[in-house]
Amino acid sequence: MSSHSTSASPRSTARSAPPSSRPTAPERSSTRAARSSANRTFGKPSDGPPRRVLVCAAHRPEGTPVSNITFKHYTVAVHDLDSAINQYETRFGMSKVGERAYNNIGKFNFQPMGFDGKTMCHLICPDTPDGPIAKLMLERVNPFNPHGEGIYLLAYDCDNVKAFADQIVANGGKFNGNPETGNIWVHPTSSNFVLMEIFPKR
């Protein structure tokens, strides 16, 4: 009984301690912030205050030139080019921009469409079953889309293609093409499976 009454419990000790010796909420918060900052420091922590790296800024490595992209046009793979041209003219009010042409690499015919002479979209139609566009359309075939038509590519202008390509690679992405000389194509696995073509801004 006596030992129980004279021994100081942790609770009574905390009550009797001077206010200055009790940790306050701001001090605990600062400790957690310091630990959090240290966890975000590249390499070993230095003797000075730790450098904090914001997650939202990680997509642009330090020293990488800033590059911006702006929307240029979209490309739609179609089964019947003449029918698609007619639909875009009558339903959407677009008109042909330039003449119909042929792409030897992709093995498709295409027609730029838009408003007031400015291209809004490209309609492309494969002319052989062994071309890349035809194969892609075949993979898309389903009861609702019997010809596998749909968006093929989104095109963008870029003020610095080389910097944009470096930014992609620095963050684990892939692209095709030579950013030093012209366009690049962002690999679909690097863009949530949307093929992106990047043009040098002119």
Domains (ranges, CATH) in the chain?
2-53 (no CATH), 69-200 (3.10.180.10)
Higher pLDDT: 171 or 13? It is 171
Taking the C-alpha atoms of residue 75 and residue 111, their distance in angstroms, rounded to an integer, is: 10
pLDDT at 173 over 60: yes
pLDDT at 190 over 90: yes
Residue 111 CA, distance from chain mean position: 28
Taking the C-alpha atoms of residue 97 and residue 123, their distance in angstroms, rounded to an integer, is: 11
Which residue bears the tokens 């590249």?
A: 42
pLDDT at 65 over 80: no
Predicted pLDDT at 67: 82
Q: What would the two tokens of residue 151 be?
A: 């968006």
Taking the C-alpha atoms of residue 19 and residue 28, their distance in angstroms, rounded to an integer, is: 15
| Average pLDDT for the chain | 79
By three-state DSSP, how is residue 136 classified? helix
DSSP state of 142: B
pLDDT at 159 over 60: yes
Distances in whole angstroms, Cα of residue 121 to Cα of each of 23, 79, 130, 133, 192? 64, 16, 24, 16, 21
Higher pLDDT: 9 or 128? It is 128
Alpha helices in the chain (DSSP H): 2-6, 10-16, 25-39, 81-90, 132-140, 161-170
